[in-house]
């Protein structure tokens, strides 16, 4: 099924899927060429230009360096899931294989604080970034967005050929 809506002003809200990744070594020094890494409090990033990594009781705020983000297509620069896949994961020698995806940042932070998993918290992307990616034929990483409200009723069209 597909829902078609205007690229902007549709009334839909775009939310992010945060990642819970299997345990691995997190080395902030390995990220210095692509990110400015600053220890901080766990929480949802306050803008599309950042990631927050939470492991145990420690959180790191990652801001992408302009020279690193400029290597990505413009819509991917806003989609922090693409930044995580293209810039963060390769530098840490890992992939998103085995990741769990959560829409609730509080739940992701709690899971990372009490378990062996690491959380990557991302900011939502804009309607414009979704439209721009479509125009360029780009695909976002798995579980980049979820839309609310979910349609509960609608019209379904199906064409039957003789």
Q: Are 144 and 17 in contact (CB under 8 A)?
A: yes
Which residues of 87-143 form beta strands (DSSP E)? 100-102, 118-122
Secondary element (H or E) of residue 15 = strand 13-16
Averaged pLDDT of the chain: 84
Q: What pLDDT is recorded for position 7? A: 65
**Res. 48: pLDDT tops 70:** no
List of domains in the chain: 14-140 (3.30.1760)
Residue 36 has pLDDT above 80, yes or no: yes
- pTM listed for this prediction: 0.82
Which backbone phi and psi does 35 adopt, to 5 degrees?
-135, 150
Q: What is the pLDDT of residue 116?
A: 87
Per-residue pLDDT tens over the stretch 122-134: 988 888 888 888 8
Q: What would the pLDDT profile of 91-119 be if each residue is shown by its tens digit?
A: 988 888 888 999 999 999 999 988 888 99
């Amino acid at each position: 099924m597909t829902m078609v809506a205007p690229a902007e002003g549709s009334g839909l809200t775009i939310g992010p899927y945060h990642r819970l990744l299997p345990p691995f070594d997190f080395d902030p020094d390995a990220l210095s060429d692509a990110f400015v890494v600053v220890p901080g409090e766990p929480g949802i990033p306050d803008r599309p230009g950042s990631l927050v990594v939470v492991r145990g009781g420690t959180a790191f705020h990652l801001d992408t360096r302009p020279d690193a983000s400029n290597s990505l297509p413009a819509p991917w620069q806003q989609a922090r899931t693409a930044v995580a896949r293209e810039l963060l994961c390769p530098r840490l020698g890992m992939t998103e294989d085995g990741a769990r995806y959560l829409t609730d940042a509080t739940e992701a932070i709690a899971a990372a604080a009490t378990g062996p998993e690491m959380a990557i918290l991302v900011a939502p992307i804009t309607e414009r970034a979704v439209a721009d990616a479509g125009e360029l034929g780009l695909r976002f990483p798995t579980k980049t967005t979820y839309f609310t409200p979910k349609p509960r009723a609608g019209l379904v069209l199906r064409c039957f050929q003789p």
